[in-house]
A and B are shown apart, each in its own frame.
Chain A
Amino acid sequence: MKISLGPVPLNWGKEKLLSFYGHVADSKVSNVYLGEVTCPKRESSIDDLMPIIDMLREKGKKVYISSYALTFDGLERGNIEALLEASDGLEINNLAFLSIKTEKELVAGPFLNVYNWRAARYLSRFGIKKVVIPWEVGRKSIEDIVEKSDLNIEVVAHGHLPVALSRECYTVRSLSSLEVSCQEAGISRSNCDKECFQHPEGFFLKAISGELVFKINGPQVFSAKVHCLIEHMDYLKRLKVESIRIESQLEEDIDEVINIYREVLDNRLNEKKAGGRLKALCSDDLCNGFFLGKPGWEYQ
Chain B
Amino acid sequence: MKEFKPLPDQPAPNDTVGPIHWVKDNFFSSAMNTIATLLILALLATVVPPLVDWLLISANWSGTTQDACTKDGACWVFVIAWSKQFFYGSYPTEELWRINLCVLMLIGVIASSQLLNKDWRNKFSIPAFLLLPFVCILILDGSWIGLEYVSTDYWGGFALNVLLAAASIIVAFPLSFVWALGRRSEMPFIKSVSILLIEFFRGVPVLALFFMGSVMLPLFFPEGTNVDKLVRVWIVLTLFMAGYMAEVFRGGFQAVPTGQYEAADSLGLSYWQKTLLIILPQVIKVSMPNILATFVMLFKNTTFLLIIGIFEVLSTTQTALTNSNWLGGHSTEGYLFVAIVFWICCYSMSRISASIERKLDTSHKN
The reply to whether chain A is a binding partner of chain B is: no
